[in-house]
Structure 1
Amino acid sequence: MAGPQQGKFVTGNLMRHVVTMALSGALGLSFTFLVDFLALWWISQLRVEAMIAAVGIAGTIQFAVMSVAIGMMIGAVALVSRSIGMGERARARRIATVGIVLTTGLQALLAALIWVFRDPILLASGAEGEVLTLGSQFLALTLPSMPLLALGINASAILRAVGDAWRSMSVTMTAGLVAVVLDPVMIVWMGWGVAGAGISIVVARAVMAVAGLWFVIGKHDLLARPSVEDMATFFRPYFAIALPAIVTQLSTPFGNWILTREIAQFGEAAVAGWGVVMRLTILAFGGIFALSGAIGGIIGQNFGAGRIDRVAGAYWAALKFCAVYTMVTWVLMIAATGPVARSFGLSPEGVAVLRTFTHYAAGAFVFTGALFVANATFNNLARPLWSTLGNWFRDGLLMYPLALSGAMWLGAPGVLWANALANVAAGCLAAWFAWRYIRRLARAPVAPDRAKGWR
């Protein structure tokens, strides 16, 4: 029986914990990306494909910046959840504070660098002409708000680490609701187009940051006063997890950049279709993307409490959730293909890209989810470098040759087939290695307080 100061995940039904955290995380994450999705949708109502392509490519670049924040968030969640699992709430507060301070500071630095070099980066991503001009305008407006986005994401993750699924979800839902109101007003009614989309995103991110701080501080008292002593104490154990997690997270935008470059050779219409696919992917498969964060707290708390049997149970519950969620979402996406294509006003080339994803490639998210579950397992069981290897095997080793071959033989849709094949291969291998490691821990446990020099 867990002590009263240990986390809520060390007792109770594991499948219920996984489903609750994953679905609430899915809603929260979906609302985070709903901000970008709605901006792209309202832009599409102006029926200018250059605008859709510009916002799509610019979004890919911002995703790379946000991936750094997500990687640092993983470090905070792993250490906060372990502390709570061991009944050390005061330590959890100090770690949460260090994580938020370091994340927002680094996001500000990265956003400033990309703001300065945004035009060369857009050119390297395949943007030219009007797409380059509009993409640069969009990045100029939205990049300064990246620290606010990082703050909101980290606050939401800390709430998940302590088991407060619904407040975690409400942080990002608030931002989505703001975008629902502002996007049509600024983009269409006021006629600001791409500039209106950028302003709406900035306001939504500011609201999310404020809501996150309100819940973390006001409801849970999970932030301490920042101190140099805490920075020195937790810097090394925090970055022992966060740095590999950052490198792991950066693999996805790198893979997307490869795919975007390959699709860009087929023109604005194909890029517009790809932009819709990327937004639709995150929105529809929010439950899969949320799995890593959702089970991170569950695995971390049970690892901290020495319950390896429950770590194994959480792992299998997450894989089962992943399979069911993907199958249901895949069927819904097939049915929605026509309405989505018409809603965004895609040309035949864009529709072909969209249809390849919704009818075929989307099914590979079973394996994408398995990769995410394995990553969460490695990150929270003191093996973050294994997550890095799994992701870069997919995005660094497999993606380019597969995308090149797919584009050569099947055109723009072939790039999506390449992405699906890479996910299948990486997901299978990562899931197998993660389960082997859990079984090894069950035979010879690693003390969580000694893992990666935590103490």
Structure 2
Amino acid sequence: MTQPQAVFTHGSTMRHVLNMTAASAMGLLTMFGVDMVDMYFLSLLGHQELAAAVGYAGTIIFFLVSVSIGLQIALGALVARAEGSHQRDLARRFCSSGLIFSFSTSLVISAVGWFYLLQLLQLLGASGLTLEYALAYAHILLPNMPFLVLGMSAAAGVRAIGDARRSMWATVIGSIVNAVLDPLFIFGFNWGLEGAAWASAVSRLVVLAVAWYALFHVHRLPRRITWREFVADLTPILHIATPAILTNLATPIGGGFVLRIMSRFGDSAVAGAAIMGRITPVAFCAIFALSSAVGPIIGQNAGAVQYGRVRSTLRNAAWFNAGYTLFIWLVLWLAADFIVSAFSATGEAAELILFYCHFLVGAFAFNGALFVANASFNNLHHPHWATAFNFGRALLGTLPAVYFGAQWFGARGVMAGEAVGSLVFGSVALYAAFGLVARLDREHVPLAVTGRAEAGAVERQPPV
């Protein structure tokens, strides 16, 4: 019988980059688009404190989501490896252990977040009416977080056995439900901010239901496991999940510091940053998708010892990143006044939106460079490099630049400082990625097939 050929080891690498990015971007566009529409509906209520409250609460939620991404990477990697070696029973066992571990971990973290929610929001800088709004919003979403994590993990299991279509539909259907319920709950039932939170909570249950149907009823993946099997599976789960979680936590840690500094300039400034925090992921969904798109292309060609194609993939991804960023910069420059008007932004919020759209959008190309570099590190058995560069950007790049930017230029300096951190570490990371490929090409040794390639996390979540 003819063995299937790795599809990415032949043909145009640019075509592979474009096709994979387009497929991945569809699901992300739906998910990020609903977040943006959510913010738009809240802006119609005419209170900038609502947008600021979502920014504060969203930072805490983002922290939990970042942890869950690391957990689902571990589940997906173990299931895929077992399935690829034709060990379906082991894949079912890893799936069950991964789901139990993900749900239990998120339950503990959500409980801690619930009991210390007031202190956490105050630490981020929330106060007064904005603090009350943020508490009401997060009190609805935090108990729902374990179900979101379970849904994301189930979708990862579906992807791991090659059913990307059903995995995507879980996100798409959940996002559509959210978009339909938002105006009904916010305006129809007159629930306001709480309505937006309840719409999100219901949509997460829908994601879980759709993903679970595909995982259990279609693919029959999970099975009953013993306590001994679960304990034994913790070692491979933690081997992959630990560096993945660490890599992902760099972004919310840096984002929390940025929000804390921005809070010094009032709710209007936080609202402006929160609005752009919802628009930017929609505008750059293709760049977020690019990070997960190039990984399989790089991995297959590295496994085939075709490092020239690996280098070509990196180069094409870098060109796509630069060209797409320039296009979005032009679009947001022309749409800046419309964005201010559509989201009813005034004062500092309006000024920050205009400043970002006119001068800072281009800096996202360096975020894209970091995403692509991290994807290459993860698939070339150097996930610790991705962790180092992510924390380097957050701690050495973003924190000091934001701090001094705030001292010298106010709220605009905070936004500009965040861009500076990305500029430095994005450039260095991409240079390091090309250097790593060159070294592997000189050695001309195929990479061993181990779990280390999946250990680094692909950064898909936007800063809040």
Q: What TM-score, normalized to structure 2? A: 0.88
- Residues 340 and 328 of structure 1, relative CA distance in 2, 3 Å threshold: same
In structure 2, distance between residues paired with 1:223 and 1:316: 40
Letter in 2 for 1:204: S
Letter in 2 for 1:433: A
In structure 1, distance between residues paired with 2:345 and 2:454: 53
In structure 2, distance between residues paired with 1:229 and 1:7: 37
- Partner of 2:3 in structure 1? 3
Letter in 2 for 1:395: A
> Once the 2 structures are TM-superposed, how far is the Cα of residue 350 of structure 1 from its aligned partner?
0.4
- Is the 2:291–2:375 Cα contact (8 Å) retained in structure 1? yes
- Partner of 2:207 in structure 1? 208
In structure 1, distance between residues paired with 2:300 and 2:19: 16
2:172 is aligned with 1:190? no
- Is the 1:81–1:297 Cα contact (8 Å) retained in structure 2? no
- Partner of 1:446 in structure 2? 447
Unpaired segments of 5 or more residues in structure 1?
none
- Is the 2:273–2:352 Cα contact (8 Å) retained in structure 1? yes
219-228 vs 249-258, which moves further: 219-228
> Once the 2 structures are TM-superposed, how far is the Cα of residue 303 of structure 1 from its aligned partner?
5.3
In structure 2, distance between residues paired with 1:256 and 1:415: 11
- Residues 440 and 235 of structure 1, relative CA distance in 2, 3 Å threshold: farther
> Once the 2 structures are TM-superposed, how far is the Cα of residue 427 of structure 1 from its aligned partner?
0.6
Letter in 2 for 1:29: L
2:265 is aligned with 1:254? no
In structure 2, distance between residues paired with 1:22 and 1:287: 6
After superposition, what is the alpha-carbon deviation per residue over 1:417-439, rounded to whole angstroms, capped at 9, x for unaligned? 11111111111111122222233
- Is the 1:160–1:297 Cα contact (8 Å) retained in structure 2? no
User: What pairs up with 1:214-293 in 2 under 5 angstroms?
Assistant: 214-228=213-227, 231-293=230-292
- Residues 111 and 79 of structure 1, relative CA distance in 2, 3 Å threshold: same
- Residues 36 and 332 of structure 1, relative CA distance in 2, 3 Å threshold: same
- Residues 56 and 396 of structure 1, relative CA distance in 2, 3 Å threshold: same
Unpaired segments of 5 or more residues in structure 2?
456-464
> Once the 2 structures are TM-superposed, how far is the Cα of residue 441 of structure 1 from its aligned partner?
3.0
SS state at 1:360 partner:
helix
- Partner of 1:134 in structure 2? 133
Letter in 1 for 2:404: S
After superposition, what is the alpha-carbon deviation per residue over 1:265-294, rounded to whole angstroms, capped at 9, x for unaligned? 111111110110111122221222223333
- Is the 1:84–1:301 Cα contact (8 Å) retained in structure 2? no
- Is the 2:304–2:446 Cα contact (8 Å) retained in structure 1? no
- Residues 83 and 11 of structure 1, relative CA distance in 2, 3 Å threshold: farther
User: What pairs up with 1:18-417 in 2 under 5 angstroms?
Assistant: 18-81=17-80, 92-161=91-160, 164-228=163-227, 231-300=230-299, 310-417=309-416
SS state at 1:127 partner:
coil
After superposition, what is the alpha-carbon deviation per residue over 1:87-136, rounded to whole angstroms, capped at 9, x for unaligned? 66665554444433322221121111101110000000110011111101
Identity %: 37
SS state at 2:246 partner:
helix
In structure 2, distance between residues paired with 1:368 and 1:352: 23
SS state at 1:399 partner:
helix
- Is the 1:82–1:303 Cα contact (8 Å) retained in structure 2? no
197-206 vs 323-332, which moves further: 323-332
In structure 2, distance between residues paired with 1:198 and 1:248: 28
SS state at 2:24 partner:
helix
- Residues 234 and 212 of structure 1, relative CA distance in 2, 3 Å threshold: same
> Once the 2 structures are TM-superposed, how far is the Cα of residue 175 of structure 1 from its aligned partner?
1.5
In structure 2, distance between residues paired with 1:325 and 1:234: 42
Q: What TM-score, normalized to structure 1? A: 0.90
- Residues 420 and 371 of structure 1, relative CA distance in 2, 3 Å threshold: same
- Residues 330 and 152 of structure 1, relative CA distance in 2, 3 Å threshold: farther
- Residues 25 and 153 of structure 1, relative CA distance in 2, 3 Å threshold: farther
- Is the 1:78–1:296 Cα contact (8 Å) retained in structure 2? no
In structure 1, distance between residues paired with 2:150 and 2:64: 13
Letter in 2 for 1:289: F
- Is the 2:77–2:451 Cα contact (8 Å) retained in structure 1? no
RMSD of aligned Cα (Å) = 2.8
Instruction: Number of aligned residue pairs: give it.
Output: 453
After superposition, what is the alpha-carbon deviation per residue over 1:241-276, rounded to whole angstroms, capped at 9, x for unaligned? 321121111111111111111111111111110110
- Is the 1:7–1:162 Cα contact (8 Å) retained in structure 2? no
- Is the 1:237–1:452 Cα contact (8 Å) retained in structure 2? no
- Is the 2:27–2:168 Cα contact (8 Å) retained in structure 1? yes
In structure 2, distance between residues paired with 1:188 and 1:130: 21
